[in-house]
Amino acid sequence: MSGHAGEPLRALPGPLPAGERLIWQGAPSWASLARHALHVGKLAAYFAGLLLWYVGASLAGGEALGATTLSALKLAALATGALGVLVLIAWLAARSTVYTITSRRIVLRIGVALPMSVNLPFAIVGAAALRLYPDGTGDIPLRLTGDGRLGFIHLWPHARPWRLARPEPMLRSVPDAARVAEILAQALTGAAGTQPAQSAAGKVVATARKPRPLMGAAA
């Protein structure tokens, strides 16, 4: 990991070595990040249900309509403020993030207050997967091999949920995710053709709501 002062190339900590080429760069969709990583939609539904319950319970308990309405408006303002903070976090995270795929590695530039680069050579990417959302955005989690560890807190929200013991970096809420996944799969295939195999391709268990495997990575 490294900082980003004086980057020779956008979102990369140094110039590309001879023989390495830039294939793709992109960033998360802030709207998709807010919905799928920060669960803004679910929280909004929860707050709405809570407000309806409060109004119904207050009126049933004999409280005046005017007082109930005023209290409900105050609660709605608090809920809106909380949701607004989450949307702002999603926007800042998307604005400060750049995902890069080269012919040899994946680089995640992440961090709002303290930007850093996470370099992931294809040699340590055991497998990649894809989870598509109805709006065309999607997540591409990466399962790493070897003894190296990345902190979940340092990666969040660019980490696969609930993989705390062995965090998996993730290209999250990427627009046109199917195309990006294809680009990554081709890059991994190309690298596999020029490097000796280290082990069998890793697999990611997939269900209807979980990422489906893209392919195993190069050794």
Mean pLDDT of the chain: 84
**Helix, strand or coil, per DSSP, at residue 37:** helix
Q: Range with the lowest mean pLDDT among 28-32, 100-104, 123-127, 162-166?
A: 162-166
Which amino acid appears at position 30 of this protein?
W
26-37 as b/e, with b when 16 or more CB fall inside 10 Å?
bbbbbbbbbbbb
| Sign of the Cα pseudo-torsion (157, 151, 2, 113, in order) | positive
Q: Give 143-159 pLDDT, tens digit per residue.
A: 998 776 788 888 999 99
Q: Mind listing the pLDDT tens digit for each residue in 159-211?
A: 999 888 889 999 999 999 999 999 999 999 888 765 543 332 333 323 224 56
pLDDT in tens, 80-98: 999 999 999 999 999 999 9
Is the pLDDT reported for residue 3 higher than 50? Answer: no
DSSP 3-state assignment of 42?
A: helix
* Candidate CATH numbers 2.60.120, 3.40.50, 2.30.29, 2.40.160; the one for domain 22-29+96-216: 2.30.29
Domain ranges of the chain: 22-29+96-216, 33-93
* Preceding peptide of 15 cis, ω within 30°: no
The per-residue pLDDT for 214 is: 60
